[in-house]
Structure 1
Amino acid sequence: MRALWLNRAMSSSHAAHAAPPKRTRSRTRTRTRTVVGLAVLGLLMVVVAATAWVGIRVLQAKDALEAAVPLASTIKDQVIAGDSDAAGRTAAELADYAQTASSRTSDPVWRTFELLPFLGPNLQVVRELAAVVDDVAQNAVTPLAELAGSFDLTDLKPVDGSIALQPLLDAQAPVAKAHDALARATTNVDAIETGQVLEVVRSAVTRLQTVTVETAGTLDGLNRAVTLLPAMLGANAPRDYILLFQNPAELRSSGGIPGALALLHTDQGAIELTQQATSTSFKQYQAPVLPLSDEIRSIFGDVTGEFMHDVTMTPDFAQTGALAREMWRLEFGVEANGVLSVDPVALSYLLDATGPITLATGDELNAGNAVQLLLRDVYARYEEPAQQDAFFAAAAGAVFDAVKSGRADPTKLITALARAGAENRVLVWNADEAEQAVLAGITLSDGRPLSDDQTNRFGLYLNDGTGVKMDLYLYLNMTTAIGQQTCREDRRPQYALEVTLTKTAPSDATTALPGYVTGGGSFGVPLGSIKTVVSAYGTPELQNLGLTRDSVEVPYHPATDATYPVSTIAIELAPGESTVLRFAWLGPEPFAGDLELRSTPLIALHETT
C-alpha cells in the first residue's frame, strides 16, 4: 500500500511539475505570432510607404521632365532673337527642373523598385532619361546660355575689313564643353533599353534621341567653327587661301569648272583679296602637277592634274585643293595655306544677307538675279571666255567686298553660309593636316560619301564631256531614286541607284543657240547634243553588279576609288532625248538602316526618291 501511495504521489508530483511548460510554450507561440505579425505589418507598411514614396517621386520627376523639355526650344528662340538675359533665366529654370528630375529618380528606394518585374524597367528608363537631361542642362545649356550673355553675333561683323577674333577665342571653351556633353548624351540615350517599357516611356526616349542627335549635330558644327576660324583668320600667323569660284555651266564632280580664282590674305582677323586670276591664267601642264593614283587616272584621266579647270573632276575636294594649290605655286610662286570654293548659287545666298550690289558695269546684282546674270546673261553679252571669267571674278569680288565691309546682316549671313554648306556649295580644304582633321566627315570637306551603322551613303558625280555651256541653260535635267531589296536566301541586300537624264534643249539647238553654248560640234560631240560622264559610287564593302541603260546592259567602266566601287559611263543626249541609268550593288550582310545619296550640286537641287 505504501508503494502504491508513493507511486501515485510521485505521479501527482510529476504532473504538478510538468504543467507549467505547456503554458510557457503556448505563451511563446503567441509571442512569436505577435512578433511575426508585427514584422509583416511593419514590412507591409514599409512597402506601402516605399511605394507611395516612389509614386510621389515618379509624379515629381514626370512634372519636372515635362516642364524642362519645352524650355530647350525656348532658349534657342531667345538666343536667336538676341535676348541673352531671358535665355540665361530660362537656362537656370531648365537646370532646376532637370536637377529635380534627376534627384527624384536616384535614391536607394527608387533603385530597389527597379528590381521589380514590369515596373522596374520603366523606372530604370525614367531614371536614365532624367540623368541625361540633367547632364545636358548642367554641362551644355548652362555654359551656352552664359556664353550668349557675353556674346553677340554683331561681334563677328567685320569692321574696316577686319573680324574681331577675341569673341571666337572666348567661345572655344564653353562650346567645347557643351559639345562634349551633347555627344555624351547622344551615346547615353542610344544605350537606353526600351524593349520592356510602356509606349509612353518609349516615346519619351525616342523624342530625346531626336533632340540630342539634332542638337549635337548643330553644336558639332559650331565647335568646329570656333576651333578653326581663328587660325584661318590669321590669329597665330598670316594666312593665304585660294578662292575657287566654281561655274556649274560646265559640270564637274564638286560643282563646276573653276573659271575665276582669287588669293585671300588674312592676318589677325583682317581680310583682303590680294590677287585675282582666271583658269586661262594657268597653262596646260605636260603631266599632273602632283601624283595621281591609278584609280583616279582610270576614272577621270590625267587632265585632273594638268588643267586648272579640271581639278574639280574628282569628288575628293582634298585632292582638288592640293592640285589647285600646287598650280598656283607653280604659276605665281605663292604656297597657299588652303583652298576655299563657292558657286554662283552660294553667292546668291550671300546677297540675301548683303542686299543688292551695283557692279562696275552698272549691273545690279541681287539674290534674285545672280544665277541668271552670272550663268546665262554674261555669255550672251561677252563672246570671249576671258571676258566672261573676268566678269564672274569681278562679281564675286564685289560680293566679298560687301561681306568684308560689314554690310551683311550677321544672322542672315550665317544662315546663308549654313545653307550653302549643307548643299555642298561651300567647300574648304586646309593644307595643315591637323586643321583639316577638324573638318573630317562634314559637307564642307566634300570627300567621298561616308556611311555609318545607321545610314548607307552613295555618290553620284557628273562631269561635262561636251566642253560647252549647255548646263547653264538648264538643258540637262536629272532625277534620282535609290532603294534596296532582299530576295536571296543568304539575306544579302541588293542596292540600286536609278538616274534619269533628260536634255530639254530645243530641237533647233544647232542653229538657235550660239556656239559658246553648243560648242559648235567640238570634242567629238554632235552639234546640239550634250555629253555627260556619270560616275556612281557604292559604299566600300559593296560588290559592284554593274549597270543598265534603259533596262539593257551596256558597256561601262568599273573601277575602285579608295576602296569605293565605282561605275562610270559617258552618255550623249540629243535635244529632247531622255535615258534611264540603273546602277546596282550587292551588300555583304542584312541592313535595316537608311539610304542617302550625295551628288554633284546642280544649279537647281532635286530630291532623291
Structure 2
Amino acid sequence: MITIGVLRKKTNQDNSSRVHRTKDNRAKRKNTRLLLLVLVILLALTATIAGRSIVSDLLGVQKWLINGQDSLRSAYIAAEKGEFDKSQLNFEQAQNSFMDAGIIMSKPGVTMLAIVPVANSNLEAVRRLTEAGIEVAYAGEALTQASTKFSKKQGKFDISIDNGMVDIKPFIEAQPDIDRAHLHVLQAMAAFDKIPDGYLIPQIKSAKKRLGEELPTLKTLVSKAKVTFDVLPGVMGGEGKRRYFLAIQNNAELRATGGLIGNYGLLTVDNGAIKLDEFDEILAIDNPAKPIDAPEDFAARYSRFEGARIWSNVNMSPDFPTVSRVLLKFFESVRGEKLDGVITIDPVGLSYLLDAIGPLTLADTGVTIDSGNAVEWTLVKAYKDFPQRDTRKDFLADIAQAVWGRIITGQVADKSKLVEQFGLALSEKHMALYSTDESEQKIAESLGYAGELMPTTNDYLQVVMQNHGANKVDIYMHQEIKHTIDLRPDGSGLATLSIDISNKTPASGLPTYVTGENSLGAKGGLSNTWLSVYVPKGAQLLSAKLDGEAGVIEINREKDKTVFSRYVKVPPGANKVVELSYELPYVLVFDKSGIDYRFDWQAQPVINKPTVTSRVTLPDGFAISELPDGFARKGHNAAYSGTLSKDKSFDFGLIDNR
C-alpha cells in the first residue's frame, strides 16, 4: 500500500509538472509568435523603407538619364551651329548627369534587385543606358577639346582665313581629339546594342528610345568630322600643291547636274594658300578636237548631244563623278594639264554662301548682291539690265569674284555659319565636289557631297529635266511629281508616276536671249525639255502617256539604272502631264528579322523645288511595323507629301499577318 501511495504521489507530481510545462510551452509559443509578428512588422517596415529608398533611387536614375539626354540634345544643336563654348558646357552637364546615374546604380539596394527576373532586365537596361550616356559625354568632351584648337569669335567656331591663306594647322592638331571622340561613340553604340529586348517599364523604354534617336545623330556628326579632318589637310594642299577646276552652273538652262556651265575658274591650293588663277566664260576654252574616251553608258546616252566633245553638254549625266572625269579629260585634251578635281556651284549655292558672307556691293555697277537677290540678279535681272553680252559676262564674273574674294580674305560676317551654309549647298547638290584621289572621293561620296547617281538595290526614283531649247526659261519651270507603289506578297511591285510640268514664263517683258529665238525650236518662252526618269535596273515599262495620250518612250541604261526618256514641249502659261507605269520584279526584302521596303528618291538641283507625293499600298494581310519619317499612316497604307530639295531614303518595316 505504501508503494502504491508513493506511486500515486509521484504520479500526481508528474501530472502537476506536465501542467506547468504545458503552460510554459504555451507561453513560450505565444511569446515566439509575438516575436515573429514583431520581426515581420519590423521586416515589413524595413522593406518598405528600403523599397521606398530603392524606388527613390530608381526615380533618381530616371531623372539623371532624362537630364543627361536633354543636355546631349542641347550640345548637338550648339555644336552644329558652331557654338562650341555652349556645346562644351552642355556636354559637361550630360557627363555629370550620367555619372550620377551610374553612382546610384552601384548602390547595394539597387544591385540586389538583379535576382528578380523582370527587375533584372530593367536594371541591365538602365546600366547600359548609363554606360552609353557616359561614353557619349566623353565623346562630346573630346569634340569640344578639338574645338579649342581653333580660334573663336563670340563663342563660335572661327576659321582663320587671312589674305588668301587658310590655317590648316588647327585641323592637324585636332585630329587626335576627333579620333578619340569617334572611339567613344563606337563604344556608346556597343553599350546601347547590349540593352535587353525583354519587358521594360515605360520610363526605361522611353529613355532607350530617346537615346536611340540621339546616338545616330552623334555618330553622323562625329563620323563627318573624322573624315573631314582626315582629308582636309591634303585637299588644302598640305601634302603638295593642288589644282581644281571650278565650274559655275546656270540653272536657268538646266542640265542634269544643275545647269549649263557658263563660267569656269582654275583654283590653286598650296599648304592652305588659295588662289583663283583664272576666271572666264566657258567659251574661252576650246572644245576638244575629237570626242574623248567616255564610259560606255555615258557615250551611249549622250554622244548624240556631243556630250563627250563640247563643254555645253558635258554635264548631261546626273552622275557628277562621271561628268567630272569626262570634264577633266576635256581640259587635259585642250590645255595639256592634269587637274586634281572639280568643284561646282550654281546661283542657289551662291545665295546660301552670301547668307553667311553678308551683302556685297560691286564697284563697277554699284549693285548690291545678297542672299535674297543673288538668284534673281544672276538669272533674271542680268539679262534685262545688261543686254550686251560682254557687259553681262563681266557683271556675272564680278559677282563670282567678289564672293570668292570675300571668302579667301576672311571678310565673312559669320565664319561658323559659312561652314554650315557650305554644308547646306553640298547636301542639296547646289555645290558638288570631285577628287582624283580615290580615298578623298570615297569620303565625298559617303558624306553625300559628290553628287553621284546613288548606287542602290532598293526601289529608286530620280526625275531629271534638261533644257534642249537653248534658252533661259528654267527659272520659271515647276514640277509636281506623284509616285505610287502597289506592293505584292511575292516581293514585286507596280509603280505609277505622274509628272506635271508647268511653264510660268511671263508673256512679255523678257529679252529674246531668255525666251529663245533659235534654230532648236524654242521660241517665245517655249520649254523644250528632255525628261528622263531613273528607276531600278530591271524595271519593265507598261505604259507611257502625255496628257492622257499614249506616246513613245526611249528606254536606256545608265550606271545601275533603267532610264525612261522623252521630249516634252511646254508653252508659256501651260502645263503638260507625263504618266508612266512600270513593273518592279523585286522591291521587298525578306529576311529573318522581317520584311523591308526601301525607297531612295534623289533630287535634281533646280531653282523651284518640286512638290512631291508618294503613296505606298500594302498587300492584303500585311501591316506596317515601322514607318519612316515623313510618311503618315493612311488606313492600311502610307502617304508622304512635301518638297524635294535633298536626296531622301525611306525604310519601311512590314509584317505578313496572313
Report the TM-score, using the length of structure 2 for normalisation. Answer: 0.77
The DSSP-based 3-state class of the residue aligned with 2:516 is helix
The CA distance in 2 between the partners of 1:496 and 1:202, in whole Å, is 40
Which deviates the most, 74-83 or 455-464? 74-83
User: Residue 249 of structure 1: SS of its match in structure 2?
Assistant: coil
Letter in 1 for 2:96: D
Query: Normalized per residue, which structure has more strand?
Result: 2
Query: What is the CA–CA distance in structure 2 between the aligned matches of 1:115 and 1:557, rounded to whole Å?
Result: 69
Q: Return closer, same or farther for 1:535/1:259 CA change in 2, 3 Å cut-off.
A: same
Q: Which amino acid aligns with 2:377?
A: L
Quote the residue 2:131 is aligned against: 131
Q: Give the counterpart of 1:304 among 304, 307, 312.
A: 307
Given that 1:242 and 1:263 are in contact with CA atoms closer than 8 Å, whether structure 2 keeps it comes out as: yes
| Cα separation, partners in 2 of 1:329 and 1:285, compared to 1, 3 Å | closer
2:404 is aligned to 400
Tell me the equivalent position of 2:445. Answer: 440
* Map of 1:333 onto structure 2: 336
Residue correspondence of structure 1 range 485-504 to structure 2 within 5 A: 485-486=486-487, 488-504=488-504
- Larger deviation, residues 251-260 vs 368-377: 368-377
CA displacement at 1:172 relative to structure 2: 1.9
Find the aligned partners of 2:300 and 2:191 in 1 and give their Cα distance. Answer: 45
Greater CA deviation, 238-247 or 276-285? Answer: 276-285
Q: Which residue of 1 aligns with 2:557?
A: 560
- In 1, are the aligned partners of 2:482 and 2:499 still within 8 Å (CA)? yes
Residue 331 of structure 1: how far off its partner (Å): 2.5
2:573 counterpart letter in structure 1: G
CA gap 1:145/1:527 in 2 versus in 1, 3 angstroms:
closer
More displaced, 120-129 or 71-80? 71-80
Contact 1:65 1:98 in 2 (8 A): yes
Distance in 1 (CA, whole Å) between partners of 2:197 and 2:531 is 44
Q: CA 1:66–1:556 in 2, change beyond 3 Å: closer, same or farther?
A: same
Distance 1:593-1:124 versus aligned 2 partners, 3 A rule: farther
- C-alpha offsets along residues 492-539 of structure 1, whole Å, 9 cap, x if unaligned? 333444321011234x56xx6433123214224465421111222224
Query: Which residue matches 1:374?
Result: 378
Provide the rounded CA distance (Å) in 1 between the counterparts of 2:338 and 2:44: 81
Q: Deviations over 1:22-80 (max 9, x none)?
A: xxxxxxxx9xxx9xx9xx99x99999999778645533422221221122244356657
Maintained 8 Å contact 1:292/1:305: no
Matched, 1:359 2:362: yes
CA RMSD of aligned residues (A): 3.6
Deviation at 1:426, TM superposition (A): 1.2
**How far off its partner does 1:109 sit?**
8.5
Residue 219 of structure 1 aligns with which residue?
222
CA–CA separation in structure 1 for the residues paired with 2:234 and 2:378: 32
Q: Letter of the aligned partner of 1:379 in structure 2? A: Y
User: Contact 2:315 / 2:323 at 8 angstroms: preserved in 1?
Assistant: yes
Alpha carbons 2:294, 2:326 under 8 Å: kept: no
Contact 2:151 2:160 in 1 (8 A): no
Tell me how far apart the structure 1 counterparts of residues 587 and 86 of structure 2 sit (CA, whole Å): 53
The 8 Å contact of residues 280 and 386 in structure 1, kept in 2 or not, is answered as no
Match of 1:182 in 2: 185
Q: Quick one: structure 1 residues 563 and 69, their matched pair in 2 at CA, closer, same or farther if it must change by over 3 Å? A: same
Structure 2 portions without partners, runs of 5+ = 1-28, 590-594, 613-640, 642-658
How many equivalent pairs are there? 567
Q: How big is the shift at 1:345?
A: 1.4
How far apart, CA to CA, are the structure 1 residues paired with 2:395 and 2:182? 43
Is 1:416 aligned with 2:417? no
Distance 1:324 1:414 in 2: 27
Equivalent in the alignment of 1:342: 345
Contact 1:466 1:523 in 2 (8 A): yes
Provide the residue aligned with 1:5 in structure 2. none
Code of the aligned partner of 1:448: L
Contact 2:479–2:611 (Cα < 8 Å) also in 1: no
Inter-CA distance 520–414: structure 2 relative to 1 (3 Å threshold)? same
Write the distance in 1 (CA, Å) between the matches of 2:450 and 2:490.
37
- The Cα shift of 1:291 comes to 2.1
Q: Deviations over 1:333-389 (max 9, x none)?
A: 332111101111111222222222222432222222211111112222444656544
> Displacement, 1:541?
7.1
Q: Greater helix percent: which structure?
A: 1
**1:107 to 1:404, Cα distance in 2 relative to 1, 3 A:** same
Match of 1:479 in 2: 480
* Structure 1 residue 457 displacement after superposition: 4.9
* 1:282 to partner: Cα distance: 3.0
The 3-state SS of whatever aligns with 2:337 is coil
* Alpha-carbon offset, residue 578 of structure 1: 1.4
Contact 1:296–1:314 under 8 Å retained in 2: no
- Does residue 260 of the first structure (1) align with residue 258 of the second (2)? no
Question: In the alignment, is residue 515 of structure 1 matched against residue 516 of structure 2?
Answer: no
Match in the other structure for 2:566 = 569
Counterpart CA distance in 2 for 1:183 and 1:585 is 41
Deviation at 1:405, TM superposition (A): 1.3
Q: Which amino acid aligns with 1:477?
A: H
Deviations 1:275-297 (A, max 9, x none): 12322123343543232223552
How far does residue 410 in structure 1 lie from its aligned partner after superposition? 0.5
Q: What percent identity do the matched residue pairs reach?
A: 23
**Whole-angstrom CA distance in 2 between matches of 1:555 and 1:566:** 13
* Structure 1, unaligned runs of 5 or more: 1-29
Q: Is the Cα contact below 8 Å between 1:299 and 1:568 reproduced in 2? A: no
- Distance in 1 (CA, whole Å) between partners of 2:492 and 2:433 is 37
| Structure 1 residue 412 displacement after superposition | 2.6
Query: Does residue 529 of the first structure (1) align with residue 526 of the second (2)?
Result: yes
Contact 2:291 2:308 in 1 (8 A): yes
Tell me what 1:245 maps to: 248
Q: Equivalent residue for 1:143?
A: 142
Which structure 2 residues correspond to residues 133-212 of structure 1 after superposition, within 5 A? Answer: 133-138=133-138, 140-153=139-152, 155-182=158-185, 185-186=188-189, 189=192, 192=195, 194=197, 196-212=199-215
Q: What does residue range 262-301 of structure 1 map to in structure 2 within 5 Å? A: 262-285=265-288, 287-294=290-297, 297-298=300-301, 301=304
CA contact (8 A) 1:541 1:588 kept: no
One-letter identity of the residue aligned with 1:312: N
Residue 603 of structure 2 aligns with an amino acid whose one-letter code is: S
Counterpart-to-counterpart distance in 2, 1:189 and 1:496: 41
Question: Aligned AA for 1:128?
Answer: R
Deviations 1:91-131 (A, max 9, x none): 33422322343455478997885675544443333233222
Describe the superposition over 1:536-565 as per-residue Cα deviations: whole angstroms up to 9, x where unpaired: 222457665564434554321222222222
1:166-186 deviation line (CA, Å, top 9, x unaligned): 111122222233234335545
> How far apart, in 2, do the equivalents of 1:569 and 1:187 lie?
50
